[in-house]
Amino acid sequence: MTAAVAFVAGVLFGAGLLLSRMTNPANVIAFLDVNGAWRPALALTMVGAIAVALPAFTIVRARGASLLGRAVAAIDRTRIDWPLLVGSAVFGIGWGLSGICPGPGLVLLTSADPRAFVFIGSVAVGAYAAALVPSVKNRG
Amino acid sequence: MGETIPLGHSLAGGALIGAGAAVLLLLDGQIAGVSGIFNRILHRTFGDQLWRIAFLAGLFLPALALGVGIIDWQAPPWQLAVAGVLVGFGTRLGSGCTSGHGVCGIANLSLRSLVATVTFIAIGILTVELTHWGSHA
C-alpha cells in the first residue's frame, strides 16, 4: 500500500516536472539569470506546488499523523544552523553551474544521455562525501 | 535562452508536483524531498526503502512514456561532474533541495526551509551571473 501510494505520488511529481519543463536545464538557468534573459516561469511552478501542498502539510501537522493514521514525526522548522546555510549555498553553486537539481537530474537519466549519468553519479559522490562531515555523521 | 513555457503549464506543472507531495504526505506520511529519498536509498541504512524506490520508479514513468522533451545542456561534462558533486554534498549537508525545502518545507511553513530556499536561489543566481560574466551584451 505505502509503495503503491509512493508510486502514484512519484508519477504526479514526475509529470509536473515534465509539464513545467524543469527537466530542461536551460529553463532553470533562464530562471536564475535575473540580469540576463530572465524567465520567471519557475517561480510560478513553485507557487503552484506550494499552494497545493500547503493544505496537506497543515492537516498532517495538526493531526501529527497521516490520514491513514501513520504517525508523522514533527520536523524541526526553526533551527537555522551552519550545515543548513553552508549546504544550501553549496547546492546553489552546483545548481547554478548546471541548471539541474536532484529531481530533474534523475528524470534526465531516462534520456540515456551519458551526461545525465555523469551528473547523477557525481551527486552520489558528493552525498557520500557529505556523510563524512561530523554534523551529518551524527545525524545518521 | 530557455523555452517559452505557457503560464498554464508552469502553474499546472507546479500543481502536479504539489499534488505528488500532498499524496505522499497525506497517505504515507512521508516527505517528497528528492535528495533525501535518493540519499537514503544510497546509504541503505534507513530501513523501509520500498516506498522510496517506488516513488523514484513513478518519477521516471512519465518521461519514459512520453519522452523527456528538449534538453539544452548548459555545461560540458566536466562542469556537470563538478556541479553534481556540489549538489550531492550541499543537499546532504543542508538536508534538502528544491523539493524538500523549496516545496515541502515552505508548504510546511518552515522558517528553516525558507532560509534554505532563499539561500540556494540567491547563490544560484550569483553563480549564473558570474559564469555569464562578460557574455551579456
**Which has more confidence, B125 or A74?**
B125
Amino acid A138: pLDDT: 82
pTM of this structure: 0.96
Whether residue B93 lies inside any domain: the answer is: yes
C-alpha cell at A69: 493514521
**Residue linked to cell 551579456:** B136
Task: Give the other-Cβ count within 10 Å of A65's Cβ.
Answer: 13
Check whether A77 has a pLDDT greater than 90: yes
Query: Mean pLDDT across the stretch A94-101?
Result: 98
Cβ contact, residue pair B14, A45, below 8 Å = yes
- A118: chain B residues, CB-CB within 8 Å: 77, 80-81, 84
Whether residue B111 lies inside any domain: the answer is: yes
Q: Under a CB-based contact definition with an 8 Å cutoff, are residues B63 and B70 in contact?
A: no
The answer, yes or no, to whether ipTM is higher than 0.85 is: yes
Check whether A2 has a pLDDT greater than 80: yes
Among B19, B75, B106, select the one facing A12 at the smallest CB separation: B19
Task: Give the other-Cβ count within 10 Å of A90's Cβ.
Answer: 25
Lowest mean pLDDT among A25-39, B39-53, B59-73, B87-101: B39-53
**DSSP letters for B20-45:** HHHHIIIII-----HHHHHHHHHH--
Whether residue B1 lies inside any domain: the answer is: no
Which of A55, A104, A129, A115 shows the shortest CA–CA distance to B73?
A: A115
Cβ contact, residue pair B112, A36, below 8 Å = no
Whether residue B85 lies inside any domain: the answer is: yes
pLDDT confidence band for B137 (50 / 70 / 90): very low
pLDDT confidence band for A37 (50 / 70 / 90): confident
- Look up residue A71 and give its DSSP letter: B
Q: How many CA atoms lie within 13 A of B59 on its CB side?
A: 27
At residue B82's C-alpha, the angle toward residues A39 and A113, to 5°, is 70
